[in-house]
Amino acid sequence: MRSNAYKPEPHLRFSQRKPEHPGLFLERCYLKPLAISQSELARHLGISRRRINEIVNAQRAVSADTALKLAVFFQTTPMFWLEKQQLWELYEATRKK
């Protein structure tokens, strides 16, 4: 009997290890160590506290706009944040298949 479950080709398989959502990474590696509150970060970035809170709680994706703002504030690159988001989305997509 043939299974209908999606099984990606070997070269399309991703790590079985669950990547960290970029918002959780933001909190763990930047906000907590630097003692920056979500409200402070939102103020500095010129975005709503709710937007930061939803990102930190893995309820919202890091958009290109947010990646640019985070990159300037934390002296990283926008791609740093977008790659973390993309890894998360790929993991979620393969898990749902």
Q: How many domains does the chain have?
A: 1
Domain CATH number, residue 80: 1.10.260.40
pTM over cut 0.85: no
- The Cβ of residue 19 has, within 10 Å, a number of other Cβ atoms equal to 18
Residue 7 located in a structural domain: no
| Domain around 47 | 19-96
The pLDDT value recorded for residue 13 is 58
Name the residue with higher pLDDT: 57 or 13: 57
Residue 64 located in a structural domain: yes
Residue 47 located in a structural domain: yes
| pLDDT, tens digit (0-9, with 9 covering 90-100), for 86-97 | 999 999 999 887
Residue 29 located in a structural domain: yes
Residue 5 located in a structural domain: no
Beta carbons of 44 and 52 less than 8 angstroms apart? no
